[in-house]
Amino acid sequence: MIVLKNVFKSYDSKTVLKDINLEIREGEIFGVVGLSGAGKSTLVRLFNKLEDIDSGEIYVNNVDLKNASDDKIYELRKKTSMIFQHFNLLSSRTVYGNISLALELDKSITKEEKEKRINEVLELVELKDKKNSYINKLSGGQKQRVAIARALITRPSIILSDESTSALDPITANNILDLLKKINKELNITIVMITHQMEVIKKMCDRIAVLKDGEIIESGDVKEIFLKPKKEFTKKLIGILDDDLPRESTYILHFLGKDATKSYVSLASKEFNVDINIIGGKINTLSNGEKVGYLIVQFESDKSEDIVKWFNSNMIEVEVLNA
């Protein structure tokens, strides 16, 4: 679906994307997460050739974007839609007018077909009653629904979502994410989520790439990343680590599935007659409903190695922070 090999991108003398290798599969929801300035928006603009790469290879739907003709790029863009943080709607037009804009240059679509498509997407995003309303009469959530309807009107195979819920309150944002999940499931549209929020990642995504200073520092299934992230930066994004966390005699216990809700710390404390202090922790429910969790604990004992082995024997991975 989307493949990048050894991609570099720079502006003037500043390299903003460094040796990017990435594969996004058809029909999945893929997340790219990182802080502001990491290169996320630049990366996503490569997928429809709004930006050109300096070197490397990039393929979208088996089209080599680096060497594609203008006609190929035009066809690709018709099948690749974007939704944005600030909606990018025209206030001078109604909801109908904003959605129909993408079809106005396509002379092959009849008036009847256009009406049919617009009514279909309005029903999907639950805005049929707002068809003739002007944009300034809508709430933020309704505006984003219009933007999603506009993205769907060309019947794309890919939707690029660039921080599409960042400007919304938590409840409205959650509703928009539910809508995108519904679209992915019912229409089998590949969705690429660009975000700085791990809450969005865990709710939405099948796989993710973590971007830091223009480089992908780790990638994989969401379950793998949340269960045991390899990089300290990713641990901080998830919330496992912060700079004030004590390191001496501190351990992170990583739980998966049903084990995330069992009282293993109490059992270990009784088994080895040792006080185990819980510093923090969290259970995360992922997009497929699976639970992963972690506990940060402290204990001092001459049986530390045996305690770690006991946790391991109960399918709990232990990370020693002061190792």
Confidence tier at 301 by pLDDT (50, 70, 90): confident
Crossing angle of the two packed helices 170-187 and 140-152, in degrees rounded to 10: 20
pLDDT for 260 equals: 64
Q: Please report the DSSP string for 263-285 in residue order.
A: -HHHHHHHHHT---EEEEEEEEE
In the chain, which ranges are E strands? 2-11, 14-24, 29-33, 55-60, 63-64, 80-84, 158-162, 190-195, 207-212, 215-221, 250-256, 277-285, 291-298, 317-320
* Cβ neighbours of residue 201 closer than 8 Å, sequence gap 6 or more: 31, 33, 193, 195, 208, 222
- Domain regions of the chain by residue span: 2-227, 239-320
315 falls in which pLDDT band (50, 70, 90)? confident
145/164 Cα distance (integer angstroms): 10
Mean pLDDT of 248-271: 83
d(CA 194, CA 41): 7
In this prediction the pTM is: 0.89
CATH class of 2-227: alpha beta
Mean residue pLDDT across the chain: 91
Q: Is 270 exposed, middle or buried (0-12, 13-18, 19+ CB in 10 A)?
A: exposed
Mean pLDDT of 256-280: 84
Per the CB < 8 A criterion, the answer to whether 112 and 90 are in contact is no
Q: Binning pLDDT at 50, 70 and 90, where does residue 322 land? A: low
The Cα–Cα gap between 124 and 182 comes to 9
pLDDT for the residue numbered 54: 95
**Alpha-helix runs per DSSP H in 125-263:** 140-152, 170-187, 198-204, 222-227, 232-238
The CATH fold assigned to 239-320 is Alpha-Beta Plaits (3.30.70)
